[in-house]
Structure 1
Amino acid sequence: MPEGFLPRPVSGGFLKAVGPIYVKHENGRSIFGLLVEERHCNSKDICHGGMLATLADVVLGIGGMEQAGVSGFFVTVSLTNDFLAPAPLGAWIEARVELLRATRTTMFVQGIFTVEGEPVLRSSGVFRLPRPERP
């Protein structure tokens, strides 16, 4: 794992089962990471597309909320993934997330996932933001 990445705490049994997901902060933004383990792979020792989609769902939501300055529970409305290249067993995947737009209720986010600088996944998502707490 590259220097500066730390495990990101997650809640819920499912995310604990697929993680750990790592994060480091650089220039005011989070960069997310995942080390591809055997349990993440298909029968060809390549990270399963469902695992990549799960990673995209999690980090686009978390990264988008951080950039929007919002906290709480988000709901995925739509997630689109383009699988560009394989991520083999033992690969380190890095994800950079960009918040495109946020309204009061919804955010639009995209991300590029790379292995050794080469893109393996392009993802975009629409997420429902948590309702602000009322006083």
Structure 2
Amino acid sequence: MTKTVEIKQGEFAGWQTWPTEPFEYETAGPFYFRADEQGPVAAFRAERKHMNAGGVVHGGCLMAFADYALFAIAHEHIQDEYGLTVAFNSEFLSGPVEGTYIEARGDVLRAGRSLIFVRGLITGDGKPCLNFSGTIMRKPKK
């Protein structure tokens, strides 16, 4: 896993991110994560760049965020290893609009030696947007 960095200012001050992941940090995101009293959570604020022509967050953005959330949810199980998504499933439930606070929470269903199974739900201002599940393959750092 790449090194995390704590955000020092703004809405997500105190949260962490992986700035060495250019797609998730610069292009699709930025996305953030932390653990709170309910467990791991990932989040971002929907901006104009995340929208589709219909005025809601693009489905590809939600899926990219869900993939990021797999790793945020499984973060403590990966630690000093690198992980790859080897399976991913999702169902769209609703489309959040610009300005919406987007959040993902979920559970690690099983963490084995090489595979980690995760499921989660993305909400927009508390309304369900995307149901997802995925499998991460652990890869030791070289």
Q: TM-score, normalised by structure 2?
A: 0.81
Deviations 1:70-112 (CA, angstroms, capped at 9, x unpaired): 3332111110011011111111111102100011000100111
Q: List alignment gaps of at least 5 residues for structure 2.
A: 1-9
SS at match of 2:69: helix
Structure 1 gaps, min length 5? none
The answer to whether the Cα contact below 8 Å between 1:73 and 1:129 also exists between their aligned partners in 2 is yes
Deviates more, 1:111-120 or 1:47-56: 111-120
Percent identical among aligned pairs is 28
Report if aligned partners of 1:5, 1:33 keep a CA contact under 8 Å in 2: no
Task: Indicate how the Cα distance of structure 1 residues 73 and 62 shifts in structure 2: closer, same or farther if over 3 A, else same.
Answer: farther
Query: Structure 2: how far apart are the matches of 1:61 and 1:12?
Result: 12
How many residues are treated as equivalent by the alignment? 132
The answer for the alignment partner of 2:4 in structure 1 is none
Task: Quote the RMSD (CA, aligned, Å).
Answer: 2.3
* Residue identity opposite 2:123 in structure 1: T
Cα deviations by residue, 1:56-83 (Å, 9 ceiling, x for unpaired): 11111232132x2533321111100110
Q: 1:114 aligns with which of 108, 120, 123?
A: 123
- TM-score, with normalisation over the residues of structure 1? 0.85
Match of 2:17 in 1: 8
Q: Does residue 77 of structure 1 match 2:47?
A: no
> By how many angstroms is 1:20 displaced?
1.4
